[in-house]
Amino acid sequence: MKKKKIFGSVMALVLIVLAGCNVPAQNTESDYASTQIHLFAQATLTKRAEEAGLAPEATEVPTTDATAETSPTDVPATTAPTQVPSTSVPVVTVIPVTPVPATATSPAQTGNSINFATGTTNGQVKDNIPANTTKRYSVRLLQNQLTEVTLNSTSTAYIAITTGKGRKLVEFSNKWTWYRDYASETGDWYIDVQTGAYAADITLNVMAPERLSFASGKDTLTGKATIPAYYTHNFVLWANKDQTLQINLNPADGLVLSIYKLGGDVLLSTGAGRTSFEGKLPVAGDYIIDIWNTSNLNRSVDAMITIK
């Protein structure tokens, strides 16, 4: 009986061992060997690539939009700022005031603004200008305003006229002492006076008449003015050939009337001492009506004008 127990115990042990042999064991050595072979092969391939002068293949890293924007190679060369052509910028060329060498004539000196007294349409400047000197005066004009400039001097002197935008209207080389035209632009106009070998006492006169226009369907109007003592008020109006012009001043005390076609015939001179006029007009165009205050008092006047 005892032997049977021993035999049974041995058989049980054998069965346990055999059962254990049927359970798959972890192949640690095999896995380790496989890993070592893989690493060795990878190292061998890398070494051969280096010997051949090739870089090992790198893992691609996605580039974000922000990285692409900051990369200088991603910016097209055509996006660099382009210089604006100079012809697209308006350029005003200012012609020098004094066209003669500085050794012959002094630089232009700043003179006075020519201001019209209240109630007048003309201004005057009296000055003494040294020899070989240019002096500048300015006057404010409106576009299309008729303007007349007259220079009187005790010795040789000429005018040059420039608009506020630098456009030269009269050069000293023209040797002019008188100018008349319609203003091409609103702004300050510059009148330069240049003397020659001798100093000069000059009188510079500027006239800019007040324009009168008839209301639609009307042939009569009244021009009003308050004229300082010894000043002249100037009107200008348009009329057609063969129309009849009538003018009467009210009141007439101390006043003298003159009328002339712009750039043409004198219809009535101040020498006649008249305060009224009636006559047929010879040509179409602008006519100047001057009212001269001969008294030492300011005079307010109505100029009643009819054109038929």
Tell whether 234 is covered by a domain: yes
Rounded to whole angstroms, how far apart are CA atoms 297 and 254?
Answer: 9
What stretches of 59-199 adopt beta strand conformation (E)?
106-113, 122-129, 133-141, 146-153, 157-162, 168-170, 178-182, 187-195
**Cα–chain-centroid distance for residue 252?**
49
In sequence order, the β-bridge partners of residue 141 are 187
Question: What does the block give as tokens for 96?
Answer: 């020098």
Select from 201, 207, 165, 204 the least CA-distant residue to 185: 165
Sorted by sequence, the CB contacts under 8 Å of residue 263 that are 6+ apart come out as 180, 285
The last residue of one of the domains, among 207, 233, 262, is 207
Looking at the structure, do residues 259 and 200 belong to the same domain, yes or no? Answer: no
Sorted by sequence, the CB contacts under 8 Å of residue 213 that are 6+ apart come out as 221, 237, 238
Tell whether 69 is covered by a domain: no
**How high is the pLDDT of residue 32?**
43
Looking at the structure, do residues 150 and 195 belong to the same domain, yes or no? Answer: yes
Number of domains in the chain: 2
Looking at the structure, do residues 139 and 167 belong to the same domain, yes or no? Answer: yes
Looking at the structure, do residues 266 and 182 belong to the same domain, yes or no? Answer: no
Looking at the structure, do residues 127 and 194 belong to the same domain, yes or no? Answer: yes
**How high is the pLDDT of residue 12?**
53
Looking at the structure, do residues 200 and 112 belong to the same domain, yes or no? Answer: yes
**How high is the pLDDT of residue 109?**
59
CATH number of the domain encompassing residue 136? 2.60.120.380
Residue 264: phi and psi, rounded to 5, are -145, -140
Looking at the structure, do residues 197 and 214 belong to the same domain, yes or no? Answer: no
Looking at the structure, do residues 135 and 173 belong to the same domain, yes or no? Answer: yes
Residue 26 amino acid letter: Q
Quickly tell me which residue has 């630089």 as its tokens: 107
Tell whether 65 is covered by a domain: no
pTM, 2 dp? 0.61
- The domain of 293 spans 210-307
Looking at the structure, do residues 190 and 258 belong to the same domain, yes or no? Answer: no
User: β-pairing, 285-293 with 255-261?
Assistant: antiparallel
* Helix (H) or strand (E) segment spanning residue 31: helix 28-51
Q: Tell me if 147 sits within 8 A of 182, measured CB to CB.
A: yes
**How high is the pLDDT of residue 117?**
79
* Helix (H) or strand (E) segment spanning residue 115: none
The last residue of one of the domains, among 189, 207, 225, is 207
**How high is the pLDDT of residue 42?**
54
Tell whether 42 is covered by a domain: no
Looking at the structure, do residues 226 and 290 belong to the same domain, yes or no? Answer: yes
Q: Tell me if 305 sits within 8 A of 246, measured CB to CB.
A: yes
**How high is the pLDDT of residue 103?**
34
Tell whether 217 is covered by a domain: yes
The count of C-alpha atoms lying within 13 angstroms of the C-alpha of 277, restricted to the half-sphere facing its C-beta, is 25
Report residues of the chain scoring pLDDT below 70: 1-111
In 71-115, where does DSSP find H-type helix? none
Q: Is 7 left (phi over 0), alpha (psi -120 to 50) or beta?
A: alpha
Tell whether 18 is covered by a domain: no
Rounded to whole angstroms, how far apart are CA atoms 10 and 155?
Answer: 156
**How high is the pLDDT of residue 270?**
92
What is the 3 state secondary structure string of 142-166? Answer: CCCCEEEEEEEECCCEEEEEECCCC
Looking at the structure, do residues 200 and 244 belong to the same domain, yes or no? Answer: no
Q: Tell me if 195 sits within 8 A of 131, measured CB to CB.
A: yes
Tell whether 90 is covered by a domain: no
Q: Tell me if 223 sits within 8 A of 307, measured CB to CB.
A: no
The last residue of one of the domains, among 207, 233, 250, is 207
Looking at the structure, do residues 166 and 117 belong to the same domain, yes or no? Answer: yes
Tell whether 171 is covered by a domain: yes
